[in-house]
Structure formats: structure tokens, C-alpha cells
Amino acid sequence: MPPTDRLELLDARRIATVSDLAVNHALSGGPCVIVGRGSQYFLRDRKDVFRAFLYASRTSKIHRLITAGTPQEKAITDVDTIDRDRAAFVKEYLKLNWPDRHLYDATLNTERGDSFLAEMLVHCVQRVA
């Protein structure tokens, strides 16, 4: 165990600061896709960024995981915990509710299919660029 005088605890403020730095550093390298980690919040005032929230029904999420090879029980557990964990992260570290729709430029239903979703995202990003 490290000495306590050298141990820096990661509190909510530090997690938010580190996440903000990481998101902005990634973007400073040129065009990129950033998934999660509060990027919708950290980049909220940038006009050159397109923020999308992708969603699906619980049933669709479970089916997608099972189709990809995840055992049914694990798929159900994952779907039931992942969104809850995301909401807790955003609440704890950013003091926001997840998903806070006003932080996104678009919300897209992934149940429309990957090709449709990809076309929509490309179209939207090209309009921003």
C-alpha cells in the first residue's frame, strides 16, 4: 500500500477534470469519434462537434448482444446494468442527469439498422463540418 502522503484520491471533481482534458486532447488531434466519458457535456459549446445519442429498446439491446454471441443471462444482466452505471457516472462526476437530451444534436434509434444509422450519422457530421 502506498504511503498516504503520496496517495491522491480521485474524487468527483478530479474525475470530471481528467475526463474533460482527455476528451479535449483527443479532439485536438483532428477529426475523431469520442464515445461517452461525458464528451457531450465537455464539448457542449463547440459548434464544430456533432453530438448524437444512440438508443434502443431493452429487448433490442438484449437481442443484439445474444446475436453477437453473449449468453442470454449475461446479455440481460449487461443491459440491465450498463445504462444504470452510465447514469450513475454522469450524475456522480458531472452532476447531470443521463441522458440529458439538450446536450445532444440528435437522438437516433439504433433499431433502424446499422446501415441506416451510419448513413444518418455521416450525413449529419458532413453538415457540421
In a domain, 6, yes or no: no
Query: Which residues neighbour 12 within 8 Å (Cβ) at sequence distance 6 or greater?
Result: 92, 93, 95
In a domain, 5, yes or no: no
In a domain, 4, yes or no: no
pLDDT at residue number 20: 87
Q: Is the previous residue joined to 3 through a cis bond, with omega within 30 degrees of 0?
A: no
pLDDT at residue number 1: 47
In a domain, 17, yes or no: yes
pLDDT at residue number 29: 86
Is the predicted pLDDT of residue 38 greater than 60, yes or no? yes
Residue whose C-alpha cell reads 474525475 in the numeric block: 15
Q: What is the share, in percent, of the chain residues with pLDDT greater than 90?
A: 43
In a domain, 7, yes or no: no
What is the spatial distance between Cα 87 and Cα 85, in angstroms, rounded to a whole number?
A: 5
Question: For residues 27 and 2, which has the higher predicted lDDT (pLDDT)?
Answer: 27
Q: How far apart, in Å, do the first and last CA atoms of the chain sit?
A: 49
What is the domain count for the chain? 1
Residue whose C-alpha cell reads 461525458 in the numeric block: 38
Residue numbers of the domain that contains 91: 12-128
In a domain, 43, yes or no: yes
pTM, to two decimals: 0.77
40-92 pLDDT, tens digit per residue, is 888 889 888 999 999 999 999 999 999 999 999 999 999 999 989 888 888 88
Contact 48, 128 (CB under 8 A): yes
Question: For residues 57 and 30, which has the higher predicted lDDT (pLDDT)?
Answer: 57
- CATH code of residue 112: 3.40.50.300
